[in-house]
Amino acid sequence: MAADGAAERLVYVVDDDEAVRESLSALLEARAYTVRTFGSAHDFLAAAPTLRPGCLIADIRMPGMDGLELQRQLNERRFTFPLIVITGHGDVPLAVRAMKAGALDFIEKPFAADAIVGSIEAALPRVAAASGSAADLVAAGAAARLALLSPREREVLQGLLAGLPNKSIAYDLAISPRTVEIHRARVMDKMGAKSLSELIRMSLAAGLQPRG
């Protein structure tokens, strides 16, 4: 593989859990990625000025400096590492915050190998910053799809952006959980989203903000 190709397949893993670091390294190295791991956000931030461009996978919850603070520090220092955040159950609101700040995707634990690899494959071409015109096209397409939603479907989407489970959305809207499931399926279909993370990406690109 050429040197340039190797650089394009660089992945950095930041997680305080050694087992997670080791399992991700084994998974990705078996697929010909070059992987470097860090046990803390502080360690990665210290090394960042010397690192070649690559994809960054970081746990959103870590002691000391968490994934959100790491992202803020990287943005502040103008380091460009396409970011995928790893989240636990109930961390969708945190993932939304990360994506509003520029993260490309989030993967919920326990994560499947295909989900991680798929996100990395989507992130690597964006090691170089996307052009403004491409971003405008994505935003316009997402806004057009958002306009297809009914008022109730939009309300359900707002609940999903807030990280609420179906039962909580149902309670807030005074409808049944089954009705929420139906609306959720229609939202996914109309938005052309194959996953919750993709739906959130599209909604944010269209300018929809989660209710504070």
Given 126, 144, 169, the domain boundary residue is 126
Where residue 56 sits, what CATH number does that domain have? 3.40.50.2300
Spatial CA neighbour of 59 closest among 43, 26, 83: 83
Torsion of CA 147, 168, 61, 45, to 10 degrees: 20
Decide if 211 is inside a domain. Answer: no
- C-alpha angle with apex 32: 120 to 123, nearest 5 degrees? 15
Decide if 210 is inside a domain. Answer: no
- Number of domains observed in the structure of the chain: 2
Where residue 159 sits, what CATH number does that domain have? 1.10.10.10
pTM: 0.67
User: Which tens digit of pLDDT belongs to each residue from 134-153?
Assistant: 456 567 778 888 888 999 99
User: Which tens digit of pLDDT belongs to each residue from 49-64?
Assistant: 888 888 999 999 899 9
DSSP bridge partners of 38: 14
